[in-house]
Amino acid sequence: MSDVTRPFKFAGALVGATLGVQAGTYGVGALACGVLWPESNLCGLPAVFTGSALGGAAGAAAGWLIAHRWGSNLVAFSRQDTWIRNGLLFAFLAFVGIWQLATFEGTGQSFRLWYWLLTMPCLCVMSAAFAYHVPRHVWLCGVAPLLGQWLWVLVGEGAQIGAGNLGPFAHVVVFGQYALSAIPCVIAAEIAAYWSRSRSQRVA
């Protein structure tokens, strides 16, 4: 069982580090710049780098420990191709996508830079990590985070999206943007799933 749970623990650490980096970047940065030292040189990049490093380390440790504690049960559950498993996986990945979008959408003009430099690569890695362990219905791993982000934008900014010159067609444009953004995640998930199936065949 240790050979099965070792990649799962790595995936848990990876997801934990991804969430920890974003939580640390946003939380420590907001704490240092908004509360503790708003006019200090510590506010800005030093706070961001410190927060991301501490958050990533703490998140990786927490993810590893959770996977170590529940890894065998979760791996066994992940091998069951049921609608409950698929629904829970889809909901979890959608929640992570919403979390990442909500973390950086308050950073102003730098939001898009953060999104493409950090959020999208993290989503691709996360989709690949889960697709490696759930090689069936791989598209779920790639589509779910971006669908969650689209729903978040639709609920939070739906009235503003349809108020411009495009009218209701603007919703189609926004949906198309997130659908295109899901392509790299789906590709990463397909590659990881192919690697997982090939490795299982060699072991068998």
How far is it, in rounded angstroms, from Cα 181 to Cα 148?
Answer: 12
Going by C-alpha positions, the residue among 1, 53, 55 that lies closest to residue 24 is 55
Whether 169 and 154 have beta carbons less than 8 Å apart is answered as: no
User: pTM value?
Assistant: 0.64
Q: Which residues contact 147 (CB under 8 A, 6 or more apart)?
A: 94, 97, 178, 182
Is the pLDDT score of 149 beyond 80? yes
Q: What's the pLDDT at 79?
A: 60
| Stronger pLDDT, 7 or 4, i.e. the higher one | 7
Is the pLDDT score of 184 beyond 90? yes
Structure tokens, 185:
């995640």
Is the pLDDT score of 16 beyond 50? yes
Q: Which residues contact 204 (CB under 8 A, 6 or more apart)?
A: none
Going by C-alpha positions, the residue among 112, 109, 125, 117 that lies closest to residue 52 is 117
For residue 133, what pLDDT band results from cuts at 50, 70 and 90? confident
Q: What's the pLDDT at 83?
A: 74
